[in-house]
Structure 1
Amino acid sequence: MSSLFSEWLAGQSAEPRNDPAPAEAASAAVTPVEAQAETPTQAETPVQAESAAPVKQAKASRANSEKVVLDAQLAAAIDTARSAIAEVAGISVIGDHLGTLAEGTRLVTHYFACTDPIYRGWRWVAVLARAPRAKKVTVCETALLPGPDSLVAPEWVPWDQRVEPGDLTPRDTLPKVEDDPNLQQGFEQVEETSDGNLDEIPNFEFGLGRRRVLSPEGISSAATRWAESETGAETDFAAKASAHCSSCGYLMPLAGSLRQKFGVCANGWSPADGKVVALDFGCGAHSETDVSRQSTDPAEAVVDDYSAGELEFQEG
């Protein structure tokens, strides 16, 4: 027997392999490190760590029949995981060890409580791994992750579901909607007349059959009120708008002589929706304007180096 083969055989017998049996059902367990260090076979039994914020048991998501067994050597490396987090965050903000989670074969995640009051309810994470038949523990990554009771940002909602008509200010501009179902091309409103002409837009006056209609004085009085209203041509919206209602696809013209000065807004995102607007009025919800496109370059990373004590000192 060669010397190389003898050395290899001796290494095989020195440390038994912890590879899981492929025929067993898939599962993942979170267990305290102390129990794993004394009895490695207990890794198959889910035991919740004793802490105010225990790590919840992960659900198995593997489609194969392998069983993930918590590696006893990695589970016992609590000091290694704590030291790896301390290099990034400092030892003062690392609290109690909350438990371990077997992510895969010889791949374990350690959870620690975060004692920084700024990140209340968050947990420090250190992922450890080791090579087959190796005793050296390797730190894969560290992170600060939110816990079940931590304060996190709300889910993102698209702007067209979030913006209300009253949210628009004179300086705001909404993104342009190219395929807006509420708009169509102007020529699509042209109807064919009885003589075959296609250049006549239906236009008719209401009033026939009514006992009385507006007099010239009544029309002039209404025009004066509308011009001096919040949707007139002298408001902040009109002054700061990049385009006026006269060129907006949401404008519904009035009939008669007032169509030369006014129309009705039919834009659900505009603060003037359903109101009579001057043709020189405008807002950021104009159908043909658009927001300035921002750069697609990745933003510079921001590192939070402040602790609660430093923030209170600066504010004081």
Structure 2
Amino acid sequence: MLHTGTVTGVVDGPRLLDAVDIARAALIEDGHRPGEHRHAVAEGEWAAAHYFDADLIGYRGWQWCVVVAGAPGSDEVTVSEVVLLPGDGALLSPSWVPWSKRVAPGDLSAGDVLAADPDDVRLVPNQIDTGDEFVADPDEIAQISGALGLGRKRLLSREGRDEAAQRWYDGDFGPGSEMAQAAQFPCCTCGFYIPLSGSLRAAFGACANEFSADAHVVSAEYGCGAHSDMVAPKGEGTPAFDAFDDGVLEIVAVSAGAGADDPDGRS
């Protein structure tokens, strides 16, 4: 919202701070209904900004700002600008975030398309594209090429690998998780642990235990109570209490006519 114009009046440099009525008149002329005048701020020797409450629906805490100006030897006050500005406690919209940076893990659903950027640092171009890495004959060289990633146009870069490794290491299936801290043995010694191939083999694998982290990538240092070497507790009862023999209970028959004054059923 911009308003420019000239309003005649008596002006003296410092007295621009007192030009409240002129600033208010500029707002009214623009069709606004200014509220209480809050304060004025000098903006140099020959300019001042006046702030008024803005009584607008949806703009709680905002304020009108009217900039007035003058010149030496002139009896005119020039209204330079009228703007709506947020004040203390103003209701503001969130900072703009590009769509590509708003996507979060778990947002992708069936039918959605999420293409990696051509310059995605997590990916690098591959050397060749054979197009036949999944042939039926296991003796074919294409099978070896597919295992090495030679059948793909793009491969994971060092940055992409390092980001994934750090994310997995710091996540729910890393050595710092509550489950891992309470475990007796690490995953790298478990029979359900399937190591990854390539450079991440020494640090990560997949869990094949359906009662634990099944199908998740886990750190070799992760662990849980379902380790393949875990020994079941022995003995009867719980570790805190001995087994209770209910055969020692004595069954006492109570007559139907027994009352509160005769608990043993005697008349």
Q: Same fold, TM exceeding 0.5?
A: no
Higher relative contact order (CA 8 A, sep 6+): 1
Higher strand share: 2
What band does the TM-score fall into relative to the shorter chain? 0.3 to 0.5
- The two structures have a TM-score, normalised by structure 1, of 0.36
**Structure number with larger C-alpha Rg:** 2
Is the helix fraction higher in 1 or 2?
A: 1
